[in-house]
Amino acid sequence: MLVYSDTKQQFIEDVRSNNIAQIVENEVARKLHRNSPRSEFVSWENSLRYMFQVLVDPEIPASARVAIEYNIPLTNNRIDFILTGKDKYLNDSAVIIELKQWEKVEATNKDAIVRTYLGNGIRETIHPSYQAWSYATLIEDYNETVRSEKISLKPCAYLHNMKQDQLINDPFYAYHTSKAPVFISSDALKLASFLKQFVKYGDTDDIMYRIEHGKIKPSKNLADSLESMLEGNIEFLMIDEQKLLYETAIDLAHKAKEKGKQTLIVKGGPGTGKSVVAINLLVELTRREMVVQYVTKNSAPREVFKKFLTGSQRRSHIDNIFKSSGAHIETPKDTFCALLVDEAHRLNEKSGLYGNRGENQIKELINASKLSVFFIDEAQRVTTQDIGSVDAIKYWAAKLDSKVTELDLFSQFRCNGSDGYLSWVDNTLQIRGTANPTLDDIDYEVKVFDDPNQLRKAIENKNRLANKARIVAGYCWDWKSKRDESAMDIVLPEHNFEAQWNLGDDGSLWIIAKDSVKQIGCIHTSQGLELDYIGVIIGDDFVVRDGEAVTDATKRSSNDRSVRGIKSMLQREPERAKKLSSEIIKNTYRTLMTRGQKGCYIYCTDQETLSYFQALAVREVEQTSDNIDQPLFESSPFPIVLAAEAKFYQGYVPVYDVKAAAGSFSDFQYSESESWIKLPDYLNSQEGMFVIQVLGESMNRRIPNGSWCLFKANPGGTRNGKIVLVQNRNIEDPDHGGSYTVKIYQSEKTIEDGTFVNQFVTLKPDTSAYGYSSIRLDATEGELNVIGEFLTVLK
């Protein structure tokens, strides 16, 4: 999402009128549904006025465009300022500018890390050149439109309050400043010259719109990328506090060798990259010839990681680097250089099958290693045996004379980078009140179903795409099928629904096992892992009565060991037992509901609770028909299949459920597709081809009404005289699609600065019918986007 976007000229006028900060604040409130603190408002006033002084340079074209506060796809990170236009070769260009209020910095010995005054004290933070470069790299990595349309991204940083540049430009940071130069207060003219290198002409093709609405490639999955990461390849670019954490951990590992034991506590919620940073540290510290292990209490992530590595490395080596939290009971002091303890909130006091070995897992881990790194989210403690807490780690670190460092992770990479969704989950489960009671403007798919069969069909449909969709549930049903393979575990007779818990044969590998989408998982086989889509069945252990959440541990299965001891505690300490069981139940559903990177589907067994979730979801319940496996496009002349069944561009091309008007512009439509069409044998498929349906009579000499037509995306060369599919951008809500027409394209050009520039575009009909007129549009207003060139009608 983009908070502010306009021409350079309009930006200058907004600053001159002293309105720019107010405009940005209003847009933040309207689009992000949050109030801006006074400090943020002041920073906009100051920084944007400095940018105004740079942009008043008359050689920076007035029709260049300014974007403020752009959200990077699939993250919650925002770019301060972007200037778009064309370079001297007429290539599309976007300059990314990281703005800082800093006055002074101190250099460090950590890569890309500086110290400056932040939050009422001197703190370590990311060098702004690394920050700007990493943001540009993330956009290039995630946004296929940027790559395919060759939009050049040029990062830099502007520290407009800084008077001296010796430290910010210290040779130690030369690698980063060479990629993204940093400018200080006295460099305003230099910054203007830098901008003019890449924005010589105006933005006539609405570059920022194309970036914002570009095709985003799927998020990476840690398990899929593990083998490549262990080979030393960069699969996940670390940004902001992730990079700070990574460099701090490496520094502490070296300090621990000479200055004594070190403990690093890393706090972060779901999707903040805890496991990604842990694996990156495992690779780097091993490369530095340190003895390191990745430790988790949960067996599921360990076994999944081992499965993905089987065949690429020796089994003994794999087993030696991925260990259980209970594997260090008798490990001598300081055996390891570093232990990377993921999901530290799940640590137990005792170890062993019967919980009768050792003294305390936190103590044993700190004792066994010179550096112990604990990645923790206390809101994911989901059993009565979970003792992992920040206070407990600090207690044992003090006992074992280990110096403690604490850091936080905030950058959100799961749930489409949506902090808003995570806040909605916390608010809905009544874990904590937040400012997100609804899902308005949250870029994450949430659906609440009336019928568990609908949920199951929807998840099975999503799973066909990449085998990354599963159903999980609260542990409210006995595991009968463990002893009787024919027995059904989760039975909801009112819906004629029945299913089994994950098969015993799959064990911890349920989440990746073949056909396991047909079973239902629980917290123990999904925590610490991620999927594209997660379906969650909320049982009777969490219900809502008159708007208040009510939890009941007695509704859990007797097989569930996560609430073991609650009954006896209820007799001894009833208030403590109720508080603890409520925390466990809410944390369980919070953890389950945040396993999906793209979407969460929900069903509640209790009707009042279901109505509560539906009201807060504020989205219509999907009415999934029994024909979910049938083609989406019944009038198509050729077979249509789901993406998982197609051979991409080997006789198949994508088909979009968008109906383009061969008349005036069609109504607003969404343009998403998970389906592919098999072309007739006489047509050769090529990457970039796609099919849509064209309605209307205005092109009936070539395209009969209702025809399914083949197009080529991003046609090169002149468009004059060609039939093209055009998207109109002048709509109220362009976030998810547009309005489309098919016409003959004709442009009128003028010469500006010795270069031909489109002035007007005329879209002409080609018909034997009367009453159709041409559509003439101002090309400089960025209303049009040529999607593709017409190739043929499918017959």
- Res 436: pLDDT: 58
Residue 217 included in any domain: no
Among residues 524, 670, 664, 539, the alpha carbon closest in space to that of 591 is found at 524
Instruction: Map tokens 């505690």 to a residue.
Output: 569
Asked if residue 626 belongs to a domain, the reply is: no
- pLDDT at residue 632 above 50? no
Q: What is the mean pLDDT of residues 84-112?
A: 95
Last residue of a domain, one of 171, 192, 212: 212
* Average pLDDT of the segment spanning 9-27: 94
In single-letter form, the type of residue at position 559 comes to N
Sign of CA dihedral 630, 634, 637, 641: negative
Answer with the one of 186, 212, 238 that is the final residue of a domain: 212
Supply the CATH number for residue 719's domain: 2.10.109.10
DSSP string for 135-154:
HHHHHHHHBHHHHHTT-EEE
Task: Give me the DSSP letters along 696-748.
Answer: SSTTTTTS-TTEEEEEEES--S--TT-EEEEEE--SS--TTEEEEEEEEEEEE
pLDDT confidence of residue 530: 85
CA distance 489 to 470: 17
Same domain for 594 and 507: yes
Distance CA 70, CA 417 (A): 13
Residue 574 shares a structural domain with residue 467 = yes
Residue 630 domain flag? no
Q: Among 238-242, 273-277, 535-539, name the most confident range.
A: 535-539
- Domain shared by 455 and 323, yes or no: no
Range of the domain at 517: 418-617
- Residue 168 and residue 258 share a domain: no
Residue 633 lies in a domain: no
Which pLDDT does position 434 carry in this prediction?
67
CA distance 567 to 306: 37
> Looking at the structure, do residues 647 and 764 belong to the same domain, yes or no?
yes
400 and 445 co-located in one domain: no
756 domain-assigned? yes
**CB contact set of 622 (below 8 Å; sequence gap of 6+):** 447, 449, 454, 458
- What is the average pLDDT across 703-711? 88
Per cent of the chain over pLDDT 70 is: 89
Least confident of 29-38, 138-147, 278-287: 29-38
Report the pLDDT averaged over residues 487-503: 93
- CB neighbours of residue 599 within 10 Å: 21
- Least reliable range by pLDDT among 296-300, 371-375, 642-646, 667-671: 667-671
| CA–CA dist 2, 7 (Å, integer) | 14
Q: Are residues 507 and 575 in the same domain?
A: yes
Report pLDDT digits (tens) over 45-78: 999 999 999 999 999 999 999 999 998 877 778 9
- How much is the average pLDDT of 5-30? 93
Q: CA-to-CA distance for 673 and 656, rounded, in angstroms?
A: 5
Is residue 661 very low, low, confident or very high in pLDDT (cuts 50, 70, 90)? confident
| φ and ψ at residue 479, rounded to 5 degrees | -90, 70
pLDDT digits (tens, 9 = 90+) for 553-612: 999 998 888 888 888 888 888 899 899 999 999 999 999 999 998 899 999 999 999 999
**pLDDT value for 12:** 96
> 68-77, 312-321, 573-582, 627-636: lowest mean pLDDT where?
627-636
Confidence of residue 629 (pLDDT cuts 50, 70, 90): very low
Phi and psi for 538 in degrees, rounded to 5? -95, 120
Find the mean pLDDT for residues 377-395.
92
User: What is the pLDDT at residue 416?
Assistant: 58
Residue 599: φ, ψ to 5°: -170, 160
Residue 345: pLDDT above 60?
Answer: yes
CA 723, distance to chain mean position in Å, is: 37
Residue 669 has pLDDT above 50, yes or no: no
Give the residues across from 69 on adjacent strands: none
What would the pLDDT profile of 180-232 be if each residue is shown by its tens digit?
Answer: 999 999 999 999 999 999 999 999 888 998 898 887 776 666 777 777 888 77
Out of 193, 212, 231, a domain closes at 212
- Residues found in the chain: 795
pLDDT band with cut points at 50, 70 and 90 for residue 414: low
Quick one: pLDDT at residue 273? 83
Total structural domains within the chain: 4
Q: Verify that 174 and 206 share a domain, yes or no.
A: yes
Domain of 513, CATH number, reads 3.40.50
Question: Does 608 share its domain with 483?
Answer: yes
Residue 22 makes CB contacts below 8 A (sequence gap 6+) with none
Query: Are 66 and 180 within one domain?
Result: yes
Q: Is 521 helix (H, G, I), strand (E, B) or coil?
A: strand
**pLDDT tens for each residue of 134-165:** 999 989 988 888 988 899 999 999 999 999 99
Domain membership of residue 156 (yes or no) is yes
Residue 622 resides in a domain:
no
212: tokens are 């914002």
Q: Which of 10-24, 63-77, 201-215, 649-663 has the highest mean pLDDT?
A: 10-24
Q: Which CATH number is 366's domain given?
A: 3.40.50.300
Q: Is the pLDDT of residue 124 over 70?
A: yes
Same domain, 786 and 714: yes
Burial 409-430 (b: 16+ CB within 10 A, else e): bebbbbbbbbbbbbbbbbbbbb
What pLDDT is recorded for position 754? 54
Contact 350, 358 (CB under 8 A): yes
Same domain assignment for residues 13 and 134 = yes
